[in-house]
Structure 1
Amino acid sequence: MLFIAPDDTISDSLVHAVEREFPWIGAERVRDLSATWAAFDPSVSLILIDAVFLSEIDSCSAQLARFHPAAMTAVMQDDGRRPLSPDEVFASRVVRGVLPMNLKLDVWLSVIRLMLRGGEYFPLAMFQPYLNNGIPHSDAKEAKPAIKRQAALEESGQLTCRESQILEMASQGLQNKTIAAALRLSEHTVKIHMHNIINKLGAHNRTEAAALFHARRVAAAGMVPGADRPVISTLT
Structure 2
Amino acid sequence: MHRLFRVLLALALAWALPLAFASAEEKGLTVFAAASMKNALDDVDAAYTAKTDVKITASYAASSVLARQIDQGAPADIFLSADTDWMDYAARQRVIKTDTRTNLLGNSIVLIAPKDSSVGKVTIAPGFDLAKLAGQGRIATGDVNSVPVGKYAKAALESLGAWQAAAPKLAMAESVRAALTLVARGEAVLGIVYSTDAKVEPEVKVVGTFPADSHPPIVYPVAATTSAAPGADNYLAFLHSQAAKTIFEKYGFTFLVRPSS
Higher RCO (CA 8 Å, separation ≥ 6 residues): 2
Give the TM-score, by structure 2 length: 0.26
Give the TM-score, by structure 1 length: 0.28
Structure with a larger share of its residues in helix: 1
Q: Radius of gyration: which is bigger?
A: 2
